[in-house]
Amino acid sequence: MDSLWFSVICGHHVSPFTMLDFDQSCHRKHGFSLENKLVFGRKPYKQALITARVVSPTQLAIVPSPDKEPVDPDQNHVAWTSVKQERWEGELVVLGEIPLWLKGTYLRNGPGLWHIEDYNFRHLFDGYATLVKLNFEDGRLIAGHRQIESEAYKAAKKNKKICFREFSEVPKHENFMAYVGDLAKLFSGSSLTDNANTGVVKLGDGRVVCLTETQKGSLVIDPNSLETLGRFEYSDSLGGLIHSAHPIVTDAEFLTLLPDLLKPGYLVVRMETGTNERKVIGRVNCSGGPAPGWVHSFPVTQHYVVVPEMPLRYCAQNLLRAEPTPLYKFKWHPQSKAFLHVMCKASGKVVTSVEVPLFVTFHFINAYEEEDEDGRVTSIIADCCEHHADTSILDQLRLKNLRFFKGEDVLPDARVGRFKIPLDGSRNGKLEAALEADEHGRGIDMCSINPAYLGKKYRYAYACGAQRPCHFPNTLTKLDFVEKKAKNWYDEGAVPSEPFFVARPGATEEDDGVVISLISEKNGGGYALLLDGSTFKEIARAKLPYGLPYGLHGCWVPKK
Ligand SMILES: CC1=C[C@H](O/C=C(C)\C=C\C2=C(C)CCCC2(C)C)OC1=O
Ligand SMILES: CC(/C=C/C=O)=C\C=C/O
Ligand SMILES: [Fe+2]
């Protein structure tokens, strides 16, 4: 318990206060002292200019980290180190200015705890979910983080071992019969994880849901307390075990894809806001391969859903294995080719399926329709963070690789892949870079756009790029698809998470707003960063009491 952070005393608010006041009141009320451990104020550190909401440390279920004292700082970057404790909340000191119009909560989800007892997980995606919040109001910022209480997480803590199948980790079986029993449970889905560690979305009715690739890993949370409220139960009988981890969510609906591993294809489904019932829009049959391609995400236009069929396909044999394969639950099938299918949202009809060059992507950025002079849709443009049809990025995201950086340039190249899908019956689509990849250091992933441009012609995207040499995307980049230029933000040794764009209410320009990112620093620290959406210059930053692990995707919950 060498460096625990308490989010301070119970039942009262003190703001602003000096460390001395704080320490004394803490001692008076609770009989413990913080011994200058709050080092996140402005210098001198004895003045911790925070407002503390008060949680007794005895109420915190503390998860001690097994990590030993840092030997080599490169191997112990806080981005890849388990979160220090289960939860924390407090006000941060803001340097710069938070726009007064920014009122609401940014939530970010991600895998933040990569060990149980002394067993260390292997892959970034295995970690138990850590939810982070940044609550902005009146230029002030209250931050917090909390572990998501999935069944998988609770069972692991209780039994001191992994109890469900994670991305690459599988529970260890005591004997062969236990293994066979577990396989049976795999088919029913009961052995699959509900560790909702990938994203978080705000539904049109206000419910906030954390998600992962398993359907059972859809968990409702309270965006203020970050408490896990329970499972989001899909009330339909569509079944299936997996879905896209990135549904398209608007105020009106929730669209997602349900891969069908038995009869290779995908169901395109829609859940109307205010309901828990998904209804089938239509079905796409795969054009190649023994199984559907992995659909981590997919794009939509105003009238169409684009269903990607990557040659990186789900693999039933690999699903059954106890030890991870180089491609985990997937298999690379270049001979099966790659396709994009376009489904009309209104009719559920597949209007075209085109073969495209082989590709690998986690994240589609956006898509839109191109029209001729008579307003007829002639083609669809779909953009994604494309890894040059190379699956090695999956291996690069093993914790062993992320924790080892000796200055070598090992991040595989990536580009903004721009697909052009003709709607004139042609059988082939094109794939080209939307801009010179050197503009963003030949690394690109973790993207966001102005949500008002979802499915529409757009000019800007925000993402993580690369400043070489590096082993992981280490810049924030603003992409301009008209000028074909990028603006880059970089802080040496820092690992920034997905830049998230929030539009200024009433804005008319696409990039009028702010970009939020959480930064994990090389010295173990961390801060929340706000960039101007237009100039891409820093407007504010606020240091966290300690650096947080890397996180994946976020959402914005505006203040009501
Ligand atoms: C990316 C990304 C992956 C990750 O996924 C987590 C899980 C638990 C995935 C599990 C599975 C597959 C990837 C393939 C099919 C089977 C199944 C076991 C459901 O979180 C991420 O962000
Ligand atoms: C971290 C990442 C993918 C996350 C998926 O949700 C990719 C990083 C580099 O491309
Ligand atoms: Fe993702």
Model confidence band, residue 174 (pLDDT cutoffs 50, 70, 90): confident
Closest residue by CA, ligand 2 atom 9: 445
147 lines ligand 1 (CB under 6 A): no
Q: Which residue has the higher pLDDT, 178 or 360?
A: 360
Q: What is the ipTM of this complex?
A: 0.94
Do the annotations mark residue 243 as ligand-binding? no
Closest CA to 224 of 143, 154, 293: 143
Percent of the chain with pLDDT over 70: 87
Mean pLDDT of 329-348: 98
The pLDDT score that the predictor gives to residue 186 is 82
Question: What is the atom index within ligand 1 of the atom nearest the CA of 165?
Answer: 18
Q: Which residues of 497-513 are buried (b: 16+ CB within 10 A; e: fewer)?
A: bbbbbbbeeeeeebbeb
Average pLDDT, integer, range 161-181: 90
Name the pLDDT band for 12 (thresholds 50, 70, 90).
very low
Collapse the DSSP code of 21 into the 3-class scheme (helix H, G, I; strand E, B; otherwise coil) and give the result.
helix
Q: What is the pLDDT of residue 16?
A: 33
- How does pLDDT run across 390-445, given as a tens digit for each residue? 999 999 999 999 999 999 999 999 999 999 999 999 999 999 999 999 999 999 99
pLDDT (tens digit, 9 = 90+) per residue, 272-281? Answer: 999 999 999 9
Q: How many residues does this entry show for the chain?
A: 560
**pLDDT score of 74:** 56
Distance CA 200, CA 400 (A): 27
* Ligand 2 atom closest to the CA of 444, numbered from 1: 10
Residue 36 has a CB neighbour count (10 Å cut-off) of: 11
Q: What is the pLDDT of residue 182?
A: 79
List CB contacts of 499: < 8 A, sequence separation 6 or more.
Answer: 446, 448, 462, 463, 464, 476, 477, 478, 515, 516, 517, 531
SS3 at position 439: helix
Whether 200 is in the pocket of ligand 1, judged by its Cβ within 6 Å, is no
- The two structure tokens encoding residue 478: 């603003």
Q: Name the percent of the chain lying above pLDDT 90.
A: 81
For residue 419, which of 411, 429, 427 has the smallest C-alpha distance?
429
CA distance 167 to 197: 10
Residue 22: pLDDT over 80:
no
Examine the pLDDT at 64 and tell me if it is beyond 80: no
Nearest to 146 by CA among 88, 233, 208, 78: 88
Q: Is 125 in the pocket of ligand 1 (CB under 6 A)?
A: yes
pLDDT at 180: 81
Q: What is the pLDDT of residue 187?
A: 80
* Residue 553 CA, closest ligand 2 atom number: 6
- Please name the residues in contact with 240: beta carbons below 8 A apart, sequence gap of 6 or more: 215, 258, 259, 260, 267
Query: Which range has the worst mean pLDDT, 27-36, 49-58, 166-175?
Result: 49-58
Cα–Cα distance between 214 and 258 in angstroms, integer? 10
pLDDT in the model for residue 296:
98
Whether 111 shows a pLDDT value over 70: the answer reads yes
pLDDT of residue 56: 39
37 lines ligand 1 (CB under 6 A): no
Question: Averaged over 102-109, what is the pLDDT?
Answer: 99
On the question of pLDDT at 129 being above 60, the answer is yes
**Confidence band for 188, pLDDT divided at 50, 70 and 90:** confident
User: Looking at ligand 2, which residue's alpha carbon is closest to its atom 4?
Assistant: 552
pLDDT for residue 459 is more than 60: yes
Q: Kindly state if the Cβ of 314 falls inside 6 Å of ligand 1.
A: yes
Can you state the percent helix, strand and coil of the chain, rounding each to 5? Answer: 15, 35, 50
Q: How confident is the model at residue 141 (pLDDT cuts 50, 70, 90)?
A: very high
Rounded Cα gap, residues 13 and 489, in angstroms: 36
C-beta neighbour count of 121 within 10 angstroms: 22
Closest CA to ligand 2's atom 8: 445
In this model, does residue 6 exceed pLDDT 90?
no
In the numeric block, the tokens 């023994």 are attached to 290
The more confident residue out of 61 and 486 is 486
Question: How high does pLDDT run on average in the chain?
Answer: 89
pLDDT tens across 403-414, in order? 999 999 999 999
Residue 472, both tokens: 């992981």
* DSSP assignment string, 112-134: EE-EETTEEPSBGGGSEEEEEEE
**What number of H helices and E strands is found in the chain?**
6, 35
> Binding site annotation covers 246?
yes
Residue 57: predicted pLDDT: 40
CA distance 548 to 240: 34
**Average of pLDDT values for 134-151?**
98
Three-state DSSP state, 88: strand
Concatenate the DSSP letters of all residues of 334-370 into one string: GGG-EEEEEEETTT--EEEEEEE----EEEEEEEEEE
Has 363 been labeled as part of a binding site? yes
Higher local confidence (pLDDT), 507 or 67: 507
| Pocket-forming residues, ligand 2, beta carbon under 6 Å | 198, 362, 393, 414, 445, 473, 552
**Beta strands of 169-303 (E only): which ranges?**
199-202, 208-211, 219-221, 228-231, 248-249, 253-260, 265-272, 278-285
Q: Give the span between the Cα atoms of 80 and 83, in whole angstroms.
A: 9
